[in-house]
Amino acid sequence: MEDDNYVDAVLEDCREKMGKAIDHTRSEFSSIRTGRAAPALVEKLRVDYYGSEVPLQQLAGIQVPEAKLMVITPYDKGSLKAIEKAIQNSDLGVNPNNDGVVIRLAFPPLTGERRKVMVKVAHTKAEEGRVAIRNLRRAARKDLEAFEKDGEISSDELDRAEKDLERITHEFVADIDLLLHHKEQELLVD
């Protein structure tokens, strides 16, 4: 019965890490522009703040008063120019409007061509997620094979565990495909 503990521990650890890969992919998708203003588009933007790279969400409050407008209010007025520069250097495709107190971002509707580019970006992010999941599967498989080699589990248990691992992998890849499908719909239908 102890043999199952080795297998269960490896599979549970793998499932947990694959869940984190899904969460990461979801957060990557939230940073892809859809034509609507959303704080997730700029929260993780790195700002050069007195010589160190800091996420924008630590330097400013972010509000979305309208669907196409975002207002960024720096906690320190001295960081206004640095935040504006970070937005200009990002791939958002939006020009910041600085009035000396807040930065306003007006999001124009996405063109058909820009939507297609954003869909390609989403596909790239999804593939990165799938690769991460496959790499986790490979690492878990190596752990299981090491247990078999050390005599901790039998070859039958290894076969069963590999089938379970494959099933888990397919579940998580399907989750990424579903996230991608929803993001495509969001990008193409506005």
| Residue in 33, 151, 175, 51 with CA at minimum distance from that of residue 92 | 33
pLDDT at site 110 = 76
For the chain, which residues make up each domain, given as ranges?
2-31+111-188, 39-106
Instruction: Tell me what percent of the residues of the chain surpass a pLDDT of 70.
Output: 96
What fold does the segment set 39-106 form as a domain? Gyrase A; domain 2 (3.30.1360)
**Rg, C-alpha atoms of the chain:** 22
End-to-end CA distance of the chain: 55
Whether the predicted pLDDT of 2 surpasses 70? no
Mean pLDDT of 43-53: 86
Is residue 75 within 8 Å of residue 64, measured between CB atoms? no
Q: For helices 155-188 and 112-149, what crossing angle results, to 10°?
A: 170
* Domain spanning 2-31+111-188, CATH class: mainly alpha
In three-state secondary structure terms, 47 is strand
Mean pLDDT of 145-174: 93
The residue that leads in pLDDT, 164 or 106, is: 164
pLDDT at site 77 = 86
> Does 2-31+111-188 match 39-106 in CATH topology?
no
105's CB contacts (< 8 A; 6+ apart) are 37, 42, 69, 70, 71, 72, 87, 92, 94, 95, 96, 97
